[in-house]
Structure 1
Amino acid sequence: MAKDAFDLVIGLGVSGRSVIRYLADQGMPVRALDTRDAPAGLDELREQHPKLKIHTGGFKGSWMKRAQRLIVSPGVAVSTPAIAEQIAEGKEVIGDIELFARAASRPLVGITGSNAKSTVVTLLGEVARACDAKPGVGGNLGVPALDLLREEAELYVLELSSFQLETTYSLNAQVASILNLSQDHLDRYGKFSDYLAAKQRIYDGCQVAVWNRDDLATRPQTQVPREITFGSHPEAHYQLDTDKQMLCHQGETLLHVDELALTGHHNAMNVLAVLAMADALGFDRATTLATVKQFKGLPHRCQLVAEDARIRWINDSKATNVGATLAALTGIGEAIEGRVILIAGGQGKGQDFSPLGEPARQYLRAALVLGQDADKVADGLSGVPCERVADMAAAVKRAAQLAQPGDAVLLSPACASFDMYDSYVARGDDFSARAREVTHG
């Protein structure tokens, strides 16, 4: 390395700060920049790394040119002109997951998809712990991947976003999976094929690909050593028999759906994915089955937050795209005696909401839409009584008036939250608190 060479970290979010920590631990010279004037946590970062040179408020051309490589945070598109210019000049541009992959010495499971990544990663981590595999669980969920290198893990289980995969070249996972694919992040990719291509990178160099037999877009587009499939398709290795409501492995019954603490068709599919990955990892099946039966799910992901003799209130605020809401609406609609009142809307990210139309007509009593793209969501829910409301307080109040015994009120926005909230967590917490108020007074 040249005497004045340095790595330039672009973006000072959670992953960017983890890169700075990692490089500092390695004794590597590093500088950082963020296009925001005052990114969150900047003062704390300066305290932790007093010698770190930081530039905010835009790209610094001289640093971009002098850096030996650019390490770009997931929230920053590599198509950004200032970065694309450096790529054209031949400069290496990578992300935190590529740094992790180069350093990790233990087997790795990489999991991506439009929906259910966090649920599947968390549940597989629970299974691994129950099987004494000492997993390090994180990535796009929870602990940044590079911070996991500080732990004494025997196996890494990573949630990976399409943004992270864009700058990853040597993942070489022991097990890799795309759980499902639907329109998402089209405000960044422009077209679905580009989004798909980013997701497919997870299979590069993997030993076992676990894919959804019901969703051919999840199938590896290049040859891999071994494939295991899951789904309701009769040819899936791990199959949901929808007639008998059984989870099966090549004809062998494993569990009845009613044995799961999780509810809904979509969650049965998530469990199947975990069973397939546990198989690929050689985990004890009895321990795996006992663990998946007890798993109750994640906050803000089809979470039952309030209930009385009449109505169930379900927080699915993490559903920030159409595919996630489609899965929740179908899964909940099939599982209850009554009908669903849907609360949806927010920042639509350029999505097409029309796929919600058919299940909405099948399962909804009414829809309440709010936020920046409320009208676009309403257009996608054609044929269903649909009302626009000003905010979450109004949505919950109106839902309580509309609901009948046996119904479920489902917050599943199909949109990002940033037009009205700091995060999907804040949105879900607001809904949950108001639902408890109307339920318990």
Structure 2
Amino acid sequence: MDRWQNINHVVVVGLGITGLSVVNHLRRLHPDVTIRVMDSRSAPPGADQLAESIELHTGSFEKQWLMQADLIVCNPGIALATPEIKQAMDKGIAVVGDIELFAWANDKPVIAITGSNGKSTVTDLTGEMAKAAGVRVGVGGNIGVPALDLLNQDADLYVLELSSFQLETTQSLKTKVSTFLNLSEDHMDRYQGMEDYACAKRRIFLHAEQVLVNREEKETYPTQGQHAVSTFGFDDKEFGMQKRDGQIWLMDHQKPIISVDDLRLVGKHNWSNALVACALLKLAGVDYRLALTCLRRYTGLSHRCQVVAEHGGVKWVNDSKATNVASTLAALSGLSLAGKLYLLVGGVGKGADFSELAQPLSTLDVQLCCFGRDGEAFMELHPSASYADSMDTILAQITPKLKDGDMVMLSPACASFDQFANFMARGVHFTQQAQRYSTQVS
């Protein structure tokens, strides 16, 4: 079936990196189609990169264009409930997203990954391990390279991170294996509740050959269709974990994969991410054992529980992206150290309640190091807590105390804009300081 047989006029709604990828894809594969672009922003990013022959409307949605379209390609950030989009849909005009266009054009196997947390790390790690196993792989989607731009690469496998927003407009994506990692409250301004949000994410299973779900979260299971279902979790079933001779091992159906002591990834949630990457590759027909060296060396995405320095038996971990309590709780989950944890917290608290951190902190050998505008709000959480005006002051104070087995972790549970431009700038600064101070550890 030629999906493009009666499509002559396409309207791309929303520019930016995704919109540009759609325009370039259409011009490359469907040069006879008339393309119009609209964006509600008055100066949308990417406007200067559009060909002069393509009409661009900015500052609002041009209703007449929408009603004249044969196909509307909507940016994921634009809800289908937007009145102008809904009116076009009610008229019978097809509304899709960039992932649906990818599905129409792609003939290679796909690993698709969604979830409220961890999907970027799983996507990146799965791609890195596939490369290490000798597979030509394209990695992108909601992370890094837009899916349509991946089609320009000479790949034999695609690994895609997909958001619920992208999945709303996707109905034809065939995958070798799809996974829904977990579900936690998010985007409630767009959805009618948690079930509505989960339903959008479960669209990742529509045409999946294999399905990987979280044993501990039934919301991640497909609710319709016939699927070959595999599961992962923290117990020792299927893809799981098991304690052997004092060490925790990632397990593949009772067969050990790797000890978590051999991973550079930090935290129980990251052990799960590593396990999922192995499971996805196996289900897609890739031998993950060819990539265990890659797994051992993998340090994570920038600013997400990333080991940025290691010297004298001390690890320095940049988790600057932890801008809320939930993210810091995830970083602390399952943390096991031979020595002391020096945890740096603080910044702009956004009115958050930090009390949830008290319980996990009580189980750790920790020095709580508080800084920044709202740093003093952490002081009651642990008897070890101390306050300093800046991260630099803290690092200068603690470095002489560091010993083999200790860890210095920046996981602030706060926004950064009291002292830094954004969480990336905060993470870069911590990394630079960590690499400087780590050499002073005896």
Task: Name the TM-score, length of structure 1 as normaliser.
Answer: 0.83
Paired residues of 1:205 and 1:224 also in contact (CA < 8 A): no
Change (3 A) 1:147 1:354: farther
1:100 Cα offset (Å): 0.5
1:128-139 to 2 correspondence within 5 Å? 128-139=130-141
1:39-188 to 2 correspondence within 5 Å? 39-43=44-48, 45-46=49-50, 49-188=51-190
State the alpha-carbon separation in 2 of the partners of residues 249 and 158 from structure 1: 23
Give the alignment partner of residue 393 of structure 2, picking from 392, 397, 405: 397
Paired residues of 1:184 and 1:351 also in contact (CA < 8 A): no
Which SS does the other structure have where 1:211 is aligned? strand
State the alpha-carbon separation in 1 of the partners of residues 308 and 7 from structure 2: 55
Q: How many residues align?
A: 428
Q: Which residue matches 1:36? A: 41
Q: Which amino acid aligns with 2:239?
A: Y
State the alpha-carbon separation in 2 of the partners of residues 420 and 33 from structure 1: 37
Q: Does 1:329 align with 2:326?
A: no
State the alpha-carbon separation in 1 of the partners of residues 398 and 192 from structure 2: 38
Q: Which residue matches 2:234? A: 232
Give the alignment partner of residue 26 of structure 2, picking from 19, 23, 27: 23
Q: Which residue matches 2:345? A: 343
State the alpha-carbon separation in 2 of the partners of residues 184 and 264 from structure 1: 22
State the alpha-carbon separation in 1 of the partners of residues 359 and 323 from structure 2: 19
Q: Which amino acid aligns with 1:198?
A: A
Q: Which residue matches 1:289? A: 292
State the alpha-carbon separation in 1 of the partners of residues 104 and 415 from structure 2: 33
State the alpha-carbon separation in 2 of the partners of residues 220 and 273 from structure 1: 17
1:168 Cα offset (Å): 1.3
Q: Which residue matches 2:381? A: 383
Which SS does the other structure have where 2:79 is aligned? coil
1:181 Cα offset (Å): 2.4
Q: Which residue matches 2:272? A: 269
Deviations 1:323-351 (A, max 9, x none): 443221224x4235213424356686x99
State the alpha-carbon separation in 1 of the partners of residues 297 and 311 from structure 2: 23
Paired residues of 2:317 and 2:409 also in contact (CA < 8 A): yes
1:2 Cα offset (Å): 11
Deviations 1:384-413 (A, max 9, x none): 4778988xxx24434654785355443335
Change (3 A) 1:37 1:200: same
Deviations 1:194-219 (A, max 9, x none): 32222221111211111222333322
State the alpha-carbon separation in 1 of the partners of residues 200 and 310 from structure 2: 40
CA-based RMSD of the aligned residues comes to 3.5
1:104 Cα offset (Å): 0.6
Q: Which amino acid aligns with 2:402?
A: P
State the alpha-carbon separation in 1 of the partners of residues 341 and 281 from structure 2: 35
Q: Which amino acid aligns with 2:393?
A: K
1:309 Cα offset (Å): 5.8
Change (3 A) 1:434 1:74: farther
State the alpha-carbon separation in 1 of the partners of residues 96 and 43 from structure 2: 24
Which is further off, 27-36 or 287-296? 287-296
1:273 Cα offset (Å): 0.6
Paired residues of 1:211 and 1:219 also in contact (CA < 8 A): yes
State the alpha-carbon separation in 2 of the partners of residues 159 and 4 from structure 1: 28
Unaligned runs of 5+ in 1: none
Deviations 1:145-176 (A, max 9, x none): 00111122211111111221122112221100
Paired residues of 2:114 and 2:162 also in contact (CA < 8 A): yes
Change (3 A) 1:63 1:423: farther
Which SS does the other structure have where 2:174 is aligned? coil
Q: Which amino acid aligns with 2:109?
A: P
Paired residues of 1:396 and 1:435 also in contact (CA < 8 A): no
1:186 Cα offset (Å): 3.4
Deviations 1:73-108 (A, max 9, x none): 122233333333333443322211111111111111
Identity of aligned residues (%): 40
Q: Which residue matches 1:428? A: 427
State the alpha-carbon separation in 2 of the partners of residues 420 and 77 from structure 1: 34
Q: Which amino acid aligns with 1:316?
A: D
Change (3 A) 1:356 1:383: closer
Change (3 A) 1:387 1:144: farther
Q: Which amino acid aligns with 1:29?
A: T
Change (3 A) 1:439 1:247: closer
Change (3 A) 1:231 1:400: farther
Deviations 1:330-380 (A, max 9, x none): 24x4235213424356686x9987654532443453364768xx69x959x
Which SS does the other structure have where 1:114 is aligned? coil
State the alpha-carbon separation in 2 of the partners of residues 418 and 70 from structure 1: 38
Q: Which residue matches 2:208? A: 206
1:236-251 to 2 correspondence within 5 Å? 236-242=237-243, 244-251=247-254
Could you say which structure has the larger radius of gyration? 2
1:297-376 to 2 correspondence within 5 Å? 297-306=300-309, 312-319=315-322, 322-331=325-334, 333-335=335-337, 337-343=339-345, 356-363=357-364, 365-366=367-368, 368=370
Paired residues of 2:266 and 2:331 also in contact (CA < 8 A): no
Which SS does the other structure have where 1:291 is aligned? helix
